[in-house]
Structures are given as structure tokens and as C-alpha cells.
Amino acid sequence: MDIFDVTCPKCKKVYYCDLLLFDLELKLHCPYCGHYFYRKESPRVYVGGAGTSAVAQIKGGLRPEMIYEPEGEKNG
């Protein structure tokens, strides 16, 4: 999935949206505060690059111990 990061103009939290929504003239919905707004109203929109990946924003990068593995599946 290609994504873009958007900052909510009300609560200022950053979240990501599917890039398919980028060029549509519709309101985005902030999952944090519930505010609806047009992309052009956002104080910051970032498209492209590895930085848009939620995983890429994890300090120190993704490590194997961060991936969930059910107890019954570990070690074979």
C-alpha cells in the first residue's frame, strides 16, 4: 500500500492515509480527535520515500523482537 502522511489541523497529530485518497476532493478523518478536513487544510502533508512508512519512523528501526509471534508458533 502506498501512503502519505498528513497532520490533523485540529489536534496536530500525524497519521497516514492510502495514496488513493490523495487526489480526491474529499474530507479526511483524523483517527485521534475525529476531526474531518480537506487535505489542503493540513499544516503538513508528506508523500513518498521510506519515511512515510510507519515502520521507518520507529527509532532504531524494526527489530525481530518487535514482531508478534504466538506462543505456540515460537521455535518451530
Give how far Cα 22 sits from Cα of 41, 45, 47, 66, Å: 13, 10, 9, 30
Could you give the number of structural domains in the chain?
1
Q: Over the stretch 16-61, which tens digit does the pLDDT of each residue have?
A: 888 888 888 889 999 999 999 999 999 999 887 555 555 556 666 6
Take residue 41 and report the three cell numbers written for it.
Answer: 487544510
Residue 42: CB atoms within 10 Å: 18
- pTM score, whole prediction: 0.62
Q: Which domain holds residue 46?
A: 3-73
Per-residue b or e along 3-36, where b marks 16 or more CB atoms closer than 10 Å to that residue's CB: bbbbbbeeeeebebbeeeeeeeeeebebeeeebe
